[in-house]
Amino acid sequence: MKLQEIKLKSGIEVTVDWDSKTKCKSCGSEIYWAVTKNKKQMPIELVGLAEWESHFATCPNANKHRRKNDKS
């Protein structure tokens, strides 16, 4: 496991596992898995020259992967 803390374009600090490279099942973009300070997993991707962003911000199918709030 190759872990590193980075700051995303939005300013959020996450820990990335550089061995977690995979492709988005919906759009095929190359993504990595990061963990937020709140211990939530987040897919991230390179959007510029060494600039990282949540993949949910760019994936055309992001709504298919969002969790629905269960209010029961």
Is-contact 46 52, C-beta < 8 A? yes
In a domain, 68, yes or no: no
Q: Identify the pLDDT of residue 49.
A: 85
Tell me the residue range of the domain where 56 lies: 3-61
Percentages of the chain per state (helix, strand, coil), in multiples of 5: 10, 45, 50
In a domain, 67, yes or no: no
In a domain, 69, yes or no: no
In a domain, 71, yes or no: no
| 26 has pLDDT over 70 | yes
Total tally of structural domains belonging to the chain: 1
| 24 has pLDDT over 70 | yes
In a domain, 70, yes or no: no
In a domain, 29, yes or no: yes
In a domain, 48, yes or no: yes
In a domain, 53, yes or no: yes
| 40 has pLDDT over 50 | yes
> What tens digit of pLDDT does each residue of 28-38 get?
999 999 999 99
Q: Identify the pLDDT of residue 14.
A: 97
Q: What are phi and psi of 57, to 5 degrees?
A: -75, -20
Rounded to whole angstroms, how far apart are CA atoms 53 and 68? Answer: 22
